[in-house]
């Protein structure tokens, strides 16, 4: 982004100092950084970009994950950045593509939100990463520290509180950067690495078909192991997309966790996608003497996809 000169009309339509989203930042962190840079109280920027009729308190709840209460175009305008950069601070685009529906809801990702932070990320760059909203992630993959959800004074951390400074405890005023830096449990972090890989897979390649395939795979795997741990819903994600129970049971958080529990990886999901005959056979060693066999061509295509995933 170029500089804004005082003669540029954008001077008066942008905040005094403007902040730009950091790579992989979460929108809530962008709002707080803007508050802090402008010497405003926590939630001042949020209040300015709330959609009419929306409540500021919604941003301390699930709405932070899918910020439907925020006017993203307005936020982009006051920060002088492209709307796409603001959208990239949410999982809106990814969820819409994965569920094949522009009207996404936070419950498609998670049924609840535990707000927690990595004190080291705050100390380094006043950054709240987007992955903080992902269910079952309890450690910072960069700093390998346990995420902290409550202050040393005992109060739960709150994203926005009108009487506090940004990035501080609303009760005692402690800066979140000084919260305890606790080493993470290696076993737990390894498991979370698998979960993050699965999330990344669905964010980058997710489509309703892939989602359906993943659900079928989970269902078949559970049936095969004869250990039904959870009821599995309809596999057509668009059929009943407005029902709340569907959103909870089909939430990506639930799905990713189930894949991990069943020891299934993104490779397995890819392999399972589509109407292919090797669903219940060792498809990787499938051979056919017919030189124009369509299944051999499909296998080749699938292997190439798997190689791409392995490289990422």
CB of 238 vs another protein, minimal distance in Å: 39
Query: With binding defined as CB under 8 A, does residue 231 bind another protein?
Result: no
DSSP H or E stretch at residue 64 = none
Query: With binding defined as CB under 8 A, does residue 115 bind another protein?
Result: no
Q: Which of 20, 149, 193, 312 binds another protein (CB under 8 A)?
A: 20
Query: With binding defined as CB under 8 A, does residue 125 bind another protein?
Result: no
Distance CA(267)–CA(306), nearest Å, equals 6
Nearest-5° Cα angle at 109, 107 to 114:
85
CB of 103 vs another protein, minimal distance in Å: 29
Q: Are 110 and 251 in contact (CB under 8 A)?
A: yes
Q: Which of 4, 87, 93, 262 binds another protein (CB under 8 A)?
A: 4
Nearer to another protein, 11 or 308 (CB): 11
Query: With binding defined as CB under 8 A, does residue 11 bind another protein?
Result: yes
User: Cβ of 224: how many Cβ atoms within 10 Å?
Assistant: 10
CB of 179 vs another protein, minimal distance in Å: 24
> 175 φ, ψ to 5°?
-70, 135
Query: With binding defined as CB under 8 A, does residue 5 bind another protein?
Result: yes
Q: Are 210 and 272 in contact (CB under 8 A)?
A: no
Closest by Cα among 83, 85, 94, 87 to 202: 94
User: Cβ of 289: how many Cβ atoms within 10 Å?
Assistant: 6
Token pair in block for residue 306: 């798997």
CB of 158 vs another protein, minimal distance in Å: 20
Strand partners, 306: none
Nearest-5° Cα angle at 129, 133 to 178:
105
Query: With binding defined as CB under 8 A, does residue 9 bind another protein?
Result: no
CB of 38 vs another protein, minimal distance in Å: 8
Nearer to another protein, 11 or 83 (CB): 11
Query: With binding defined as CB under 8 A, does residue 22 bind another protein?
Result: no
Q: Which of 17, 154, 275, 294 binds another protein (CB under 8 A)?
A: 17
Q: Are 91 and 25 in contact (CB under 8 A)?
A: no
Which residues from 34-93 bind another protein, rule CB under 8 A?
37-41, 44-45, 47-48, 78, 80-81
Query: With binding defined as CB under 8 A, does residue 167 bind another protein?
Result: no
Alpha-carbon dihedral of residues 282, 196, 75, 81, nearest 10 degrees?
-80
Residues 6+ apart with CB under 8 A from 42: 32, 35, 159, 160, 161, 162, 164, 165, 166, 167, 168, 170
Query: With binding defined as CB under 8 A, does residue 208 bind another protein?
Result: no
CB of 48 vs another protein, minimal distance in Å: 4
Distance CA(273)–CA(283), nearest Å, equals 12
- The count of chain residues that interact with another protein, using the rule CB under 8 A, is 28
From the list 15-23, 114-122, 142-150, 263-271, the region that binds another protein by CB under 8 A is: 15-23
Query: With binding defined as CB under 8 A, does residue 100 bind another protein?
Result: no
Q: Which of 14, 101, 142, 197 binds another protein (CB under 8 A)?
A: 14
Token pair in block for residue 1: 């982004």
User: Cβ of 277: how many Cβ atoms within 10 Å?
Assistant: 10
CB of 105 vs another protein, minimal distance in Å: 28
Residues that bind another protein (CB under 8 A): 1, 3-7, 11-20, 37-41, 44-45, 47-48, 78, 80-81
């Amino acid at each position: 982004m170029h500089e804004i000169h005082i003669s540029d009309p954008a001077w008066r339509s942008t905040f005094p100092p403007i902040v730009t989203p950091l790579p992989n930042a979460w929108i809530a962190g962008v709002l707080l950084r803007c508050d802090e840079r402008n010497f405003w109280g926590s939630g001042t920027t949020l209040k300015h970009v709330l959609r009419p009729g929306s409540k500021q308190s919604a941003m301390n709840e699930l709405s932070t994950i899918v910020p439907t209460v925020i006017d993203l175009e307005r936020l982009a305008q006051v920060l002088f950045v492209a709307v796409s950069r603001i959208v990239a601070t949410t999982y809106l685009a990814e969820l819409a593509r994965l569920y094949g529906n522009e009207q996404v809801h936070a419950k498609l990702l998670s049924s609840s939100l535990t707000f927690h932070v990595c004190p080291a990320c705050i100390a380094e760059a006043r950054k709240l990463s987007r992955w903080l909203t992902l269910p079952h992630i309890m450690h910072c993959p960069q700093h390998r520290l346990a995420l902290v959800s409550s202050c040393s004074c005992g109060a739960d951390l709150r994203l926005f509180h009108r009487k506090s400074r940004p990035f501080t405890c609303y009760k005692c005023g402690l800066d979140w950067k000084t919260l305890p830096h606790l080493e993470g449990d290696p076993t737990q972090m390894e498991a979370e690495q698998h979960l993050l890989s699965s999330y990344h897979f669905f964010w980058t390649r997710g489509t309703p078909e892939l989602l359906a395939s993943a659900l079928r795979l989970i269902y078949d795997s559970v049936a095969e192991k004869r250990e039904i741990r959870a009821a599995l819903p309809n596999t057509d994600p668009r059929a009943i997309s407005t029902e709340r129970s569907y959103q909870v049971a089909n939430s990506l958080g639930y799905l990713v966790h189930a894949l991990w529990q069943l020891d299934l990886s993104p490779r397995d999901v890819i392999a399972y996608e589509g109407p292919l005959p090797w669903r219940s056979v060792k498809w990787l060693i499938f051979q056919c003497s017919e030189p124009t066999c369509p299944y051999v061509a499909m296998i080749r295509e699938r292997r190439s996809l798997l190689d791409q995933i392995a490289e990422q």
